[in-house]
Copies of this chain bind each other. A is one copy, B any other.
Amino acid sequence: MAGPEYHHRMLHLHSTSPDRWLAQVDQNLNDILIDHAHCEQKAASTAMHLMFEYVENEDLRQEMTEIIAEELEHFHMVLALLKQRDIRFYKMKPGTYGRKLMGLCRRQEPHKAVDRLLVAGLIEARSCERFVLLRDHLQDTQLSDFYGSLYESEARHHATYVRLAQSYGDDAEVSSRLEALAEAEAKIIADGCELPRVHS
């Protein structure tokens, strides 16, 4: 089993999640599960949005179509898990993570495309890192197994988004933006969010 160091390099993350987050998880597990359903939903919406925004990119179209199908499958899996546990799914106020990241994206094309794809990739990366933490931390074997089964697809989506960003900028630009956005992402994670969420 690869250790967390390995994951972080592969995922371009600039930090590991603080213990504070696992404490939030322990105290608000149901909220985290409900928010996980929201995350899959947002991931599917984002992929569809990107597909239609950059529809002339055939590679992107194919990848987004696969990601949409996978995220929707995960969405249904989380909802089934909630139902089995008698946890009512409801529309929860989102945490601040996604909004803060979106605010970092440049507004002019093609830079906007680079940034939006990299931000989508970093969200997948952080999800991956946290799903591994949940797998290792949660005592509940069903949940531990569930997160153990999901994190690899998040890592794969991360790699896909980073690769797709390279259609809209040269290697130097994409690398430097990836580092800058990952640095900002680590800062957002360090600041945290009071609401218990997957990315709080």
Binding site for B on A (CB under 8 A): 41, 44-45, 48, 52, 55-56, 61, 65, 68-69, 72, 76, 79, 89-91
Q: Separation in Å of the A182 CB from the closest CB of chain B?
A: 29
Q: Please give, as numbers and ranges, the residues of chain B lying within 8 Å of A68 by CB-CB distance.
A: 68, 72
Q: Please give, as numbers and ranges, the residues of chain B lying within 8 Å of A72 by CB-CB distance.
A: 65, 68
- The complex places the Cα of A31 from the Cα of B163 at a distance, in Å, of 33
Q: Please give, as numbers and ranges, the residues of chain B lying within 8 Å of A89 by CB-CB distance.
A: 55-56
Instruction: Count this chain's copies in the assembly.
Output: 2
Partner of A76, one of B41, B45, B48, B65: B65
Chain B residue with Cβ nearest A64: B72
What are 18 A-B contacts defined by CB distance under 8 Å?
A41-B52, A41-B55, A44-B48, A45-B48, A45-B52, A48-B48, A55-B79, A55-B89, A55-B91, A56-B89, A56-B90, A61-B76, A61-B79, A65-B72, A65-B76, A68-B68, A68-B72, A69-B69
- The complex places the Cα of A164 from the Cα of B172 at a distance, in Å, of 51
Q: Please give, as numbers and ranges, the residues of chain B lying within 8 Å of A52 by CB-CB distance.
A: 41, 45
Q: Please give, as numbers and ranges, the residues of chain B lying within 8 Å of A90 by CB-CB distance.
A: 56
Chain B residue with Cβ nearest A49: B45
Q: Separation in Å of the A93 CB from the closest CB of chain B?
A: 15
Q: Separation in Å of the A9 CB from the closest CB of chain B?
A: 34
Q: Separation in Å of the A153 CB from the closest CB of chain B?
A: 17
Top 8 closest A-B pairs, CB basis?
A: A41-B52, A65-B72, A48-B48, A45-B48, A69-B69, A55-B89, A44-B48, A56-B89
